[in-house]
Chain A
């Protein structure tokens, strides 16, 4: 579903060149919930931005859901973001002047979809995510957890095959974070979509099917969170994920 081959990306920060990605290659298979982990500066956010079509690699190839991202024009990238992916940010990033349902409808509005169907779909999504009663409220009247749910609903409103989440629980307390991870895992399973979550929290990664570990702009390892081998299958917990993660960082 998502294939990155030998991706390189360098940024210029005030005259200083920073190699964000150095020949990264990875493959994320079909629908599921996946985590990308790494320390600060490992390139995980850069990778997410490339997958979202917000930036383009200096070299290498990226294919998402059959769409090659390398040589897209700005218009093609716009359509890609509208149809193929949904994005959830750490800071919710809801439009402050729109209500919750209007925020969810926004991608459909941009695609000129009929208003009636758009509203019905938006309300259904909000209800599914447990914030249906907040449909008419603006972001400043909602808690952080509620705002993040609305943001997820907005990301799913176009029924994209891929959902990208950049540290979605970064601004949430532990209880809301737990609820958010559970929600994302459920969505991946029930809607059969590919959810890629960038995180530095092992507890978050424990909810995923597979974890990809980045270090210094390259993939240093990946492991499933469902352990296989002797005995019955067992899901790794946060400690388990952390231990496996640390192995790759050594």
Chain B
């Protein structure tokens, strides 16, 4: 065995208590990071699975330039003939209103059997042909995929809704409840299984009625009939042949049918939402798109087609996943660095304690490298043991929590893959890094000086150097934010350079800050603890590095708490608070003005706004517009029309240029439009620019009177149509008044309404109703409005708030874990300090100090360390938030104010002080039990 390894082994086992503390630090850090990685893995897996199910694995696709429009499905034959193409598959998605007709027994006497219709909206998606099913992986719980146009697969969530499960929104219609004597005929004509005939038309009690009703609802499943409503009054029947897994992470219920099966409902044969293209190996999607974009446009109606790589569609999801990962990556990185610092401090303290021992080993023939190697072996041993214990612990905790919240979060619990080895590797690396400085320190100890019993004055020059170095490192933190790089590069550079500089800088500042804190606060602390001030001050100043770096290790958790609470408040007030969108969105295919009037008559509705999406042509009139309009062709513009005043009362738009009052007035006057920020940026236009819009050769010039952004609309857009990013819509959209559209472009014809925004009375108001009632009554009022989708804005906001609160809770938990890990470092330091100063304490007792003085001295030192950690952690947290504000502005385009919640932060201060003093308590109590003679004897050998 290598000599250094033997020395390291004897060292590890010789000081078990202290070694166990350091192992515990690494174990907890590794557990924390393994838990984070495991949780992230399951969340990412769910997101990725959903993305794959939604977007597929195709390399490219052809679709209509206007979202929601279809293309000729037969186009796939032409595309399949291109030499680069392995397969081309048409795909159609269409919203469906599905209903099931089930017998039910009225819960009131005479408990008569009736017909009950339960309905729900869902998204219908066509399946690829059997030979191309790998394009869109599907998880089935039961049954099989559809093979004929009469067959359908429904998701578990949709099935639960149609079964009318409690708490699940399904819609009961009693419109047919009055059918009594014709129930049997009615059921038969709807294909309801005839075993219903075995039950009596009348139940004997309400309990029996409820039980029979529930049984019938529950019997809905494989083989049951389900109907899709095809307007005006037709229904199309399907048989359920398969049940798919529930949608991951929320979203609209899904159904799967063959293309022909979906066409039975749409009534439009040979239409597809897009043509999905899989390329042969070796062909690059980008080059493929570049080659065929032109020939595609040359086709009849080719100008309405767009060929794009699927990455363009999925980029938003990848960015979302990356953005979701960022706070957790930051927390993990901080935890690892913090563990490394604690190990550095702990082992350096040990080196200082064992100076004499190390000198002896040098005297009897150990080389410098053997001394250094011993420390590295100790670090490796601590890291390896910590990794072996911590990684399974963390994985186990994460899997247990995920399993517990599985149903709530709708996440499939995935076993962590090789990525969890990052936690193991990180633990070992952090321990080795932590051992690096002690190794150097130990190897460079001059044996002669180490042997002398002479007391050494604490080095002051080093404190100033650390101050300088710390300030420089902190000043480097914002450099990536002002380097003028792209968003991705900026974020990456900040994560890998800026943030570590911040952490290391504040860690190093721990020494000068503690020095300053000692000068400022030691007198007050000493007097409050009935200690001689000079004693406290001198003992703190005797070991400034040890104490200061321990304060640095303690600060990380507090910094995380400060950052997450300040950031959370900013998101809640500056972003969520600014999001104002209508409580209800209604989309339909047959919405008319009278539907809006029906809604206005509902007592719980405050305001309605009808919105039209009209495809128009556009030509810029501004000479400064970007010359190359190939990709952002102006003729693919959607005019989103609404009544300005009611619209602004329901939705909050953030004006990047212009203001709401002026814009509203101008919109009312006519000849004015608003554009989204993405539109203005892409075309280099702004307030005052002019755009000529036209429809069927009727043209009008419009002036841009405002450039807007709306985080709320982004969210709603994602809720309703996940295949199209808001940015893509916004680039091609202008906002104007319905009067302008009607009078200038539609020659007086009333524009169709595709969307109605509805404002509701608050639930607390006497006229207010709950979301479910509002949904049901709105559907009833608009029952002939075409296929309806009703989105609940209040629920959206509540969901967002819940996600935000959950994120804050998770990161806060990580922060507290970091503080607990740091506590072990504090405990190690205190124990080492007591061991090293036993003789000093013995002398104090021998000259007349009471036991309590010695104990309070150690507690006061821990208190000062806690105070320094508070200063460091708060400053670091706020600086991190300031940088986070810049990152948020880059990523989501919103400038959040830094507005620290001081009361919450103050509670964090209390936690730090309690943990720091508490960590030292066991060692202090042990010290109190030792007699002066025992302490004085520590000077011998």
- Interface residue? A139 (CB, 8 A): yes
- Cβ-based interface call for B537 (8 A): no
A91 touches B3 (CB 8 A): no
Residues of chain A within 8 A of B370, CB atoms compared: 110
Count B interface residues, CB 8 Å: 27
What DSSP secondary structure best describes chain B's contact surface? helix
**Residues of A close to B367: CB separation below 8 A:** 74-75, 78, 110
Q: Closest residue to B14 on the A side, CB-wise?
A: A97
9-residue interface stretch from A22-30, A48-56, A127-135: A48-56
B361 proximal to A (CB < 8 A):
yes
Listed A/B pairs (16) with beta-carbon separation below 8 Å: A49-B448, A75-B367, A79-B365, A81-B362, A91-B941, A94-B941, A95-B10, A95-B360, A96-B941, A106-B361, A106-B364, A107-B364, A107-B365, A109-B6, A111-B3, A144-B940
By the criterion CB–CB under 8 Å, are A91 and B448 in contact?
no
A154-B941 contact, Cβ under 8 Å, with A98-B14, A109-B6: no
Verify if B783 is at the interface (C-beta below 8 Å from A): no
A93-B6 contact, Cβ under 8 Å, with A78-B366, A107-B364, A110-B364:
no
**A110-B364, A155-B364 provided; 13 other pairs, C-beta below 8 A?**
A74-B368, A75-B367, A78-B368, A81-B362, A81-B363, A87-B363, A87-B364, A94-B941, A96-B14, A107-B365, A111-B3, A112-B3, A147-B941
**Closest A-chain residue to B369, C-beta based?**
A75
Chain A residues whose CB sits within 8 angstroms of the CB of B7 once the complex forms: 109
The complex places the Cα of A92 from the Cα of B941 at a distance, in Å, of 6
Q: Mark A73-117, 1 if CB is under 8 A from B, else 0.
A: 011001101110011010111111110001000110111100100
Contacts of A96 in B (CB 8 A): 14, 357, 941
Q: Mark B361-392, 1 if CB is under 8 A from A, else 0.
A: 11111111010000000000000000000000
Q: How far, in Å, is B749 (CB) from chain A's closest CB?
A: 94
Q: In this complex, what residue of B is CB-closest to A164?
A: B363
Bound together, the chains give a CA A115 to CA B9 distance in angstroms of 15
Contact partner, A78, options B10, B13, B365, Cβ 8 Å: B365
Most chain B CB neighbours (cut-off 10 Å) among A49, A89, A93, A94: A93
At the interface, yes or no: A158 with Cβ under 8 Å from chain B?
yes
Residues on the A chain within 8 Å of B366, using CB: 78, 110
- Residues from 140 to 182 in A contacting B, C-beta threshold 8 Å: 144, 147, 154-155, 158, 171
| A95 in contact with B365 given A110-B3, A147-B941 (CB within 8 Å) | no
Count chain B CB atoms within 10 A of each CB in A86, A106, A144 and give the residue with the most. A106
Residue numbers in B under 8 Å from A147 (CB-CB): 941
Instruction: Check if B45 is an interface residue, CB within 8 A of chain A.
Output: no
Contact pick for A154, options B13, B364, B368, B447, CB 8 Å: B364
Given known A-B contacts A94-B941, A97-B10, A55 and B364 have beta carbons under 8 A apart? no
Interface residues on A, range: 35 or more
Q: A173: shortest Cβ distance to chain B, in Å? A: 13
Say if the beta carbon of B356 comes within 8 Å of chain A: yes
What sequence of 0s and 1s flags, for each residue 33-44 of chain A, a beta carbon within 8 Å of any chain B beta carbon?
000000000000
Known contacts A52-B363, A54-B363; A95 and B357 CB within 8 A of each other? yes
- What residues of B have a CB within 8 angstroms of the CB of A92 in the complex? 941
Q: Smallest Cβ distance from A104 to chain B, in angstroms?
A: 10
Chain A residues, Cβ within 8 Å of B363: 52, 54, 81, 87
Decide if B941 touches A139 in the complex (CB within 8 Å).
Answer: yes
Taking a contact as CB atoms under 8 Å apart, the answer to whether B448 and A158 are in contact is no
Nearest CB of chain A from residue B363's CB, rounded to whole Å:
5
Answer whether residue B929 sits at the interface, using C-beta atoms and an 8 A cutoff: no
Query: Which of A74, A86, A97 gathers the greatest number of chain B CB atoms within 10 Å?
Result: A97
**What is the CB-to-nearest-CB distance from A46 to chain B, in angstroms, rounded to a whole number?**
10
Closest to A97 in B: B14
Q: A-B pairs with the 10 shortest C-beta distances?
A: A97-B14, A82-B365, A93-B360, A78-B367, A92-B941, A81-B365, A54-B448, A109-B3, A110-B3, A110-B365
Q: Can you list, as one digit per residue, whether each of B13-50 has a CB less than 8 Å from chain A (1) or not (0)?
A: 11100000000000000000000000000000000000
User: With an 8 A cutoff between CB atoms, is B324 at the interface?
Assistant: no
Partner of B448, one of A55, A81, A82, A106: A55
Q: Which of B2, B361, B365, B451 contacts A158 (CB 8 A)?
A: B365
B14 to chain A, nearest CB (A): 2
Q: Across the interface, which residues of A come within 8 angstroms of B13, CB to CB?
A: 97
Residue of B nearest to A106 (CB): B364
Hey, which chain A residues are within 8 Å of B67, CB to CB?
none
Task: State A93–B359 Cα separation when bound (angstroms).
Answer: 9
B629 at the interface (CB under 8 A from A): no
* A82:B364 contact, CB within 8 angstroms: yes
Whole-angstrom CA separation of A55 from B447 in the bound complex: 9
Residues of B with C-beta under 8 A to A81: 362-365
A91: chain B residues within 8 A (beta carbon):
940-941
Question: Whole-angstrom distance between the alpha carbons of A96 and B354 in the complex?
Answer: 10
- A105's nearest neighbour on chain B, judged by CB, is B6
Question: Which residues of chain A come closer than 8 Å to B1, judged between CB atoms?
Answer: 115
The reply to whether the CB of B11 lies closer than 8 angstroms to some CB of chain A is yes
- Which B residues are in CB contact (< 8 Å) with A78? 362, 365-368
Task: Tell me, in angstroms, the Cα distance from A79 to B367 when the chains sit together.
Answer: 8
Q: How far is the CA of A82 from the CA of B2 in the complex (A)?
A: 16
Whether A93 contacts B356 by the Cβ 8 Å rule is yes
**Closest approach, in angstroms, between the C-beta of B576 and any C-beta of chain A?**
58
The contact string, 1 if C-beta is below 8 Å from chain A, for chain B 534-550, is 00000000000000000
Complex-state Cα separation, A155 to B360, whole angstroms? 11
**B941–A93 touching, CB < 8 Å:** yes
Least Cβ distance of B835 to chain A in Å? Answer: 11
- Write the chain A residue with the least CB distance to B367: A78
Report how far A97 CA is from B354 CA in the complex, Å: 11
Residue of B nearest to A13 (CB): B454
Q: B357 touching A54 by the CB < 8 A rule?
A: no
Q: Report the nearest B residue to A78, measured CB to CB.
A: B367
Q: How far is the CA of A26 from the CA of B444 in the complex (A)?
A: 32
The CA of A193 and the CA of B258, in the complex, are separated in Å by 100
Q: Which residues of B contact A82 (CB under 8 A)?
A: 364-365
Most chain A CB atoms below 10 A, which of B2, B360, B451: B360
Please encode chain B, from 426 to 456, with 1 for each CB lying within 8 Å of some chain A CB and 0 for all others.
0000000000000000000001100100000
CB of A97 within 8 A of CB of B15, answer: yes
How far apart are the CA atoms of A78 and B7 in the complex, in Å?
17
Which residues from B are CB-within-8-Å of A75?
Answer: 367
Chain B window 457-477, contacts with chain A (Cβ cutoff 8 Å), 1 for yes, 0 for no: 000000000000000000000
Complex Cα distance, B105 from A67, in Å, reads 110
- Bound form: Cα–Cα A79–B365 in Å: 6
Q: Looking across the interface, which residue of chain B has its beta carbon closest to that of A84?
A: B365
For B447, the closest partner residue in chain A by CB is: A54
Chain B 801-819 against A: per-residue CB contact (8 Å), 1 yes, 0 no? 0000000000000000000
- Docked pose: A141 CA to B13 CA in angstroms: 17
CA of A109 to CA of B9, assembled, Å: 13
Closest residue on chain A to residue B7 by CB atoms: A109
Chain B residue nearest in CB terms to A86: B364
Least distance between A221 CB and chain B CB atoms (Å): 28
Distance (whole angstroms) from the CB of A184 to the closest CB of chain B:
18
B364–A98 touching, CB < 8 Å: no
Within 8 A of A (CB), among B475-499: none
Contacts of A154 in B (CB 8 A): 364
In the complex, what residues of A have CB within 8 A of residue B361's CB?
A: 95, 106, 110
Assembly CA distance A102 to B941 (angstroms): 17
Residue pair A111, B10 in contact (C-beta under 8 Å): no
B365-A171 in contact (CB<8A): no
Specify which chain A residues have a CB less than 8 angstroms from the CB of B448 in the assembled complex.
49, 54-55
- Which interface residue of B14, B15, B365, B941 has the most chain A CB atoms within 10 A? B365
How many whole Å from B629's CB to the nearest CB in chain A? 74
Task: Select from chain A the residue with minimum beta-carbon distance to B457.
Answer: A14
Name the distance in Å between B517's Cβ and chain A's nearest Cβ.
Answer: 29
Which residues on A sit within 8 Å (CB–CB) of B356? 93
A190-225 toward B: CB 8 Å interface, digit per residue (1/0)?
000000000000000000000000000000000000
The interface residues of chain B lying within 8 Å CB-to-CB of A94 are 941
Chain B residues in 8 Å Cβ range of A115: 1
Q: Which residues of A contact B2 (CB under 8 A)?
A: 112
Q: Which of A79, A112, A171 counts the most B-chain CB atoms under 10 A from its CB?
A: A112
